[in-house]
């Protein structure tokens, strides 16, 4: 299906891309994501792409400027030949071959070779710039980046490309945004960056629809915007639903077979997200989402805006800030009766000065940003907090799962990054329970449905799982070491069937979910194993982080996870893909401690069996549990003997071993 270019019935769409660190998130990834958005099957005169660079990096800006030169060739090529994959790094994979249904194959082949050559030049330019201290001469358009401090700089808004003639076949607007940073100001992580994009875009294009993606999530389905708009523009008569946003699932490219790190989340999306879609709708996951701007501005589905009352200048300024232009654009969106109303008729270049003003640190003080409007503050998982607020107003949301998948991203492929990612998720989700936007409070005070509340609690309470997982992993070993108590019924007692039955039923149920989702038995086992590892590291430290915040000792920190532009293909041999890696992070201490403690318990039992008279079958159930724990933490067992990144650092082993000696000492003396 190809749309008629320039259709006046389609709403304008502002597209947001967020990146935070050119080292952890290589610019070539951001460039490919931007290029895939620009080439989406939609009139280009109705699109605008905003790239938020939270590091104010001249390298990122340089890469985007160079990418626009290539985009002027890439976008027409994709639409002329109806290219299915519109991220160049995926379309021009090393093993790719030119393929087209075009009647003029020779013309296509000639264009294909030309575009591939140009992309190769772009890639080499960016890679070469990454190796230099300064990516280019920092003068002219780059003068704002001269001697810049990423933590202390003014706001920078630059129009990289403007579609001045409003051609539906050209390249859309592209705007670079680096919000102001000052050491004494709270910047609110990604939520703060999204709110700046919201305000800047409101002054420049003010589209009624916004699409946001992370820098590593490229457009895999060129019809994604049209497919999402099918929900937002749907008129079902009496059954009409006004959806607040349309969430697409997170899918990943080049995922390792059988999901060895347990982070592809296919089963979670297949069951939890679809289940929530049957209540009030799925939660916003931070990327791959189409939003109504008026919903982000605090609108409720049953709210009536009356000019001069709710939209008085005084109310607008107290909510949106003292920018007259921003208040006017907000009023325009809130008063609109349909999605075709919106947009700006003036040149976006004329709005740069006003855009820099609303991107300043102090602009939000005394306003409703982050509390009443925009992306919500108060958690490092701003996406869940924002969707909770939206659902609490009574909105419903939609879940769109097209084939092929709408977006594809890269997933972490080493142990430390995965553990860090899960820590950020568990910390952010758990801390929401201690805010005024806890689903328990919103269910009683607002319009969050009870079943939707339970669905949110299903993952907000993930961190608490670590307490029980760690206890279950430690208690059998302690019982054996102390030789004075039992954690489980004796193997010859009928009561033994109770824990065995519960475990078997639970495992069979989870296995059935993986089979229904099309996953393998090995993938199920890998996820079961990784849940134990994550519980004993990320989730445990997530509880600690939130606990320190609650008592006022520290604040939670948004930690950016490393993105790999090659997905690890050049970092490890094929035989080592999926092998767990370690670093000196303290988050690996609990897992190492659990493994060493259970190994010690097995050795103690073996010693008593061979040399003592007090060993018997009373501890058979505990022995089985200890062996299961060792199997679950087999990656750590191999890490005890591994080298380099594949080995557990010696300081971690020493600290864990010291804890084990303390447990053994107290256990033997019966003073636990």
DSSP 364-419: GTTS-BTTTBSSPPSSS-HHHHHHHHHHHTT-EEEE---SS-SEEE----SHHHHH
Under the banding of pLDDT at 50, 70 and 90, the label for residue 163 is confident
Give the pLDDT confidence score for residue 575 in this predicted structure. Answer: 52
Give the pLDDT confidence score for residue 607 in this predicted structure. Answer: 84
- Judge if pTM exceeds 0.85: yes
Is pLDDT at 605 greater than 70 in this prediction?
Answer: yes
The candidate with the shortest Cα–Cα distance to 585, out of 543, 548, 553, 541, is: 541
What is the DSSP code (8-state) at residue 172? -
Strand partners, 12: none
Helices then strands (H, E): number in the chain? 24, 11
How open is the CA angle 273-277-282, to the nearest 5 degrees? Answer: 55
Task: Judge contact between 464 and 543, C-beta under 8 A.
Answer: yes
Highest mean pLDDT among 37-46, 548-557, 569-578: 37-46
Is pLDDT at 651 greater than 80 in this prediction?
Answer: yes
What is the CB neighbour count within 10 angstroms for residue 247?
31
Please report how the helices 324-335 and 189-204 are oriented relative to each other, as an axis angle in degrees rounded to 10.
80
Is pLDDT at 99 greater than 90 in this prediction?
Answer: no
Binding residues for Mn(2+): 190, 214
Give the pLDDT confidence score for residue 345 in this predicted structure. Answer: 57
pLDDT tens for 170-229 read: 899 999 999 999 998 889 999 999 999 999 999 999 999 999 999 999 999 999 999 999
CA dist 176 and 71 (Å) reads: 15
Under the banding of pLDDT at 50, 70 and 90, the label for residue 622 is confident
Domain segments of the chain as ranges: 9-414, 452-561+582-668
Binding residues for UDP-alpha-D-glucose: 25, 54
Give the pLDDT confidence score for residue 49 in this predicted structure. Answer: 97
Query: 254-260: long-range contacts (C-beta < 8 A, 24 or more apart)?
Result: 254/410, 254/567, 254/569, 255/411, 256/413, 256/577, 256/578, 257/578, 258/520, 258/522, 258/523, 258/526, 258/578, 259/519, 259/523, 259/526, 259/527, 260/526, 260/577, 260/578, 260/579
Is 383 known to be catalytic? yes
Task: Judge contact between 385 and 202, C-beta under 8 A.
Answer: no
The candidate with the shortest Cα–Cα distance to 26, out of 62, 52, 59, 3, is: 59
Q: List the catalytic residue out of 45, 111, 383, 564.
A: 383
Enter the tokens of residue 665: 């000492």
Q: Point out the least confidently predicted range of 229-233, 306-310, 558-562.
A: 306-310
Is pLDDT at 667 greater than 80 in this prediction?
Answer: no
- CA quadruple 41, 43, 46, 51: dihedral, nearest 10: 40
Give the pLDDT confidence score for residue 103 in this predicted structure. Answer: 58
Under the banding of pLDDT at 50, 70 and 90, the label for residue 8 is low
Tell me the three state secondary structure of residue 326: helix
pLDDT tens for 472-527 read: 999 999 988 888 777 777 777 788 888 889 999 999 999 999 999 999 999 999 99
Under the banding of pLDDT at 50, 70 and 90, the label for residue 308 is very low
Is pLDDT at 66 greater than 70 in this prediction?
Answer: yes
Helix, strand, coil distribution of the chain in percent, nearest 5: 50, 10, 40
Position with higher pLDDT, 276 vs 165? 276
The candidate with the shortest Cα–Cα distance to 38, out of 160, 158, 125, 202, is: 160
Question: Looking at residues 132-161, what average pLDDT do you find?
Answer: 89
Mean pLDDT over each residue of the chain, to the nearest integer: 88
Rg (CA), the chain: 27
Give the pLDDT confidence score for residue 491 in this predicted structure. Answer: 74
Annotate 139-170 with b (16+ C-beta within 10 A) or e (fewer): eeebebbeebeeeebbbbbbbbbbbeeeebeb
CA dist 545 and 503 (Å) reads: 31
CA dist 626 and 177 (Å) reads: 54
Task: Judge contact between 209 and 339, C-beta under 8 A.
Answer: yes
185 CB-near residues (< 8 Å, 6+ apart): 361, 362
Task: Judge contact between 383 and 288, C-beta under 8 A.
Answer: no
CATH classification (class only), 9-414:
alpha beta
Highest mean pLDDT among 81-85, 120-124, 606-610, 668-672: 120-124
Under the banding of pLDDT at 50, 70 and 90, the label for residue 359 is very high
Q: What count of Cα atoms within 13 Å lies in the side-chain half-sphere of residue 508? A: 6
Binding residues: 25, 54, 190, 214
pLDDT tens for 319-330 read: 999 999 999 999
Q: List the catalytic residue out of 54, 216, 259, 564.
A: 54
Highest mean pLDDT among 5-9, 167-171, 645-649: 645-649
Is 403 known to be catalytic? no
How open is the CA angle 404-408-409, to the nearest 5 degrees? Answer: 170
Task: Judge contact between 226 and 3, C-beta under 8 A.
Answer: yes
**How many residues does this entry show for the chain?**
672
CA dist 554 and 73 (Å) reads: 50
Position with higher pLDDT, 119 vs 558? 119
Q: Point out the least confidently predicted range of 170-179, 409-418, 460-469.
A: 409-418
Is pLDDT at 149 greater than 60 in this prediction?
Answer: yes
Strands 289-292 and 209-214: antiparallel
What are the distances in angstroms from CA 467 to CA 434, 472, 474, 532, 557?
18, 9, 11, 11, 22
The candidate with the shortest Cα–Cα distance to 18, out of 46, 57, 53, 68, is: 53
CA dist 592 and 299 (Å) reads: 50
Q: What count of Cα atoms within 13 Å lies in the side-chain half-sphere of residue 640? A: 16
Position with higher pLDDT, 557 vs 73? 73
* E strand intervals along 220-302: 243-247, 251-252, 289-292
How open is the CA angle 657-658-660, to the nearest 5 degrees? Answer: 65
622 CB-near residues (< 8 Å, 6+ apart): 476, 477, 479, 480, 486, 487, 488, 601
CA dist 254 and 517 (Å) reads: 18
- The verdict on whether omega for the bond into residue 404 sits within 30 degrees of 0, i.e. cis, is yes
How open is the CA angle 354-288-20, to the nearest 5 degrees? Answer: 55
Enter the tokens of residue 147: 């001697």
Under the banding of pLDDT at 50, 70 and 90, the label for residue 309 is very low
Is pLDDT at 1 greater than 50 in this prediction?
Answer: no
What is the CB neighbour count within 10 angstroms for residue 385?
24
Enter the tokens of residue 158: 């630059």
């Amino acid at each position: 299906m190809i749309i008629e270019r320039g259709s006046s019935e389609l709403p304008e769409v502002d597209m947001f891309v967020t990146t935070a660190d050119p080292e952890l998130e290589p610019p070539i990834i951001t460039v490919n994501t931007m290029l895939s958005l620009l080439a989406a099957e939609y009139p280009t005169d109705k699109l605008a792409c905003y790239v938020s660079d939270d590091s104010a990096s001249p390298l990122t800006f340089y890469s985007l400027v160079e990418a626009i030169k290539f985009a002027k060739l890439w976008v027409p090529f994709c639409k002329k030949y109806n290219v299915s994959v519109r991220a160049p790094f995926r379309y021009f994979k090393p093993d790719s071959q030119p393929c087209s249904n075009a009647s003029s194959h020779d013309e296509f082949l000639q264009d294909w070779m030309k575009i591939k050559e140009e992309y190769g030049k772009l890639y080499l330019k960016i890679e070469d710039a990454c190796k230099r201290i300064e990516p280019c001469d920092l003068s002219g358009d780059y003068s704002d980046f001269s001697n810049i401090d990423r933590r202390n700089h003014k706001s920078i808004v630059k129009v990289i490309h403007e579609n001045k003639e409003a051609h539906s076949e050209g390249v859309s607007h592209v705007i670079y945004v680096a919000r102001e940073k000052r050491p004494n100001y709270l910047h609110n992580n990604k939520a703060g960056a999204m709110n700046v994009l919201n305000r800047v875009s409101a002054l420049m294009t003010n589209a009624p629809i916004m699409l946001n993606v992370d820098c590593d999530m490229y457009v895999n389905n060129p019809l994604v915007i049209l497919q999402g708009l099918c929900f937002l523009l749907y008129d079902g008569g009496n059954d009409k639903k006004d959806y607040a946003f349309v969430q697409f699932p997170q899918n990943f490219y080049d995922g390792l077979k059988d999901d060895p790190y347990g982070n592809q989340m296919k089963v979670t999306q297949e069951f939890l997200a679809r289940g929530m879609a049957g209540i009030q709708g799925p939660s916003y996951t931070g990327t791959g989402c189409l939003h109504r701007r008026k919903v982000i501005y605090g609108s409720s589905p049953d709210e009536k805006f009356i000019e001069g009352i709710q939209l008085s200048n005084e109310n607008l300024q107290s909510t949106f800030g003292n920018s007259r232009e921003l208040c006017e654009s907000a009023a325009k969106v809130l008063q609109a009766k349909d999605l075709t109303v919106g947009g700006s008729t003036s040149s976006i270049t004329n709005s740069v000065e006003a855009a820099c003003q609303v991107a300043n640190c102090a602009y939000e003080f005394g306003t409703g940003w982050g509390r009443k409007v925009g992306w919500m503050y108060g958690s490092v998982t701003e996406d869940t907090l924002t969707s909770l607020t939206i659902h609490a107003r009574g909105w419903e949301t939609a879940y769109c799962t097209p084939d092929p998948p709408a977006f594809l991203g890269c997933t972490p492929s080493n142990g430390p990054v995965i553990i860090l990612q899960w820590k950020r998720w568990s910390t952010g989700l758990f801390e929401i329970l201690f805010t005024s936007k806890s689903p328990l409070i919103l269910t009683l005070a607002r319009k969050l449905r009870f079943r939707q509340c339970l669905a949110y609690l299903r993952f907000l309470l993930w961190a608490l799982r670590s307490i029980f997982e760690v206890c279950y992993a430690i208690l059998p070993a302690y019982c054996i070491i102390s030789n004075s108590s039992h954690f489980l019924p004796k193997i010859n007692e009928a009561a033994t069937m109770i824990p065995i039955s519960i475990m078997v039923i639970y495992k069979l149920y989870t296995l059935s979910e993986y089979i229904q989702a099309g996953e393998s038995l090995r993938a199920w086992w890998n996820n079961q194993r990784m849940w134990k590892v994550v519980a004993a590291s990320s989730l445990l430290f997530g509880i600690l982080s939130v606990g320190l915040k609650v008592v006022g000792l520290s604040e939670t920190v948004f930690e950016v996870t490393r993105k790999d532009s090659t997905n690890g293909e050049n970092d490890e041999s094929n035989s080592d893909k999926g092998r767990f890696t370690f670093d000196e992070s303290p988050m690996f201490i609990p897992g190492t401690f659990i493994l060493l403690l259970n190994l010690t318990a097995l050795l103690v039992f073996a010693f008593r069996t061979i040399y003592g008279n007090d060993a018997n079958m009373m501890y058979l159930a505990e022995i089985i549990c200890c062996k299961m724990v060792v199997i679950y933490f087999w990656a750590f067992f191999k890490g005890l003997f591994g080298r380099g990144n594949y080995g557990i650092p010696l300081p971690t082993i020493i600290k864990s071993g010291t804890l084990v000696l303390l447990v053994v000492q107290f256990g033997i003396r019966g003073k636990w």
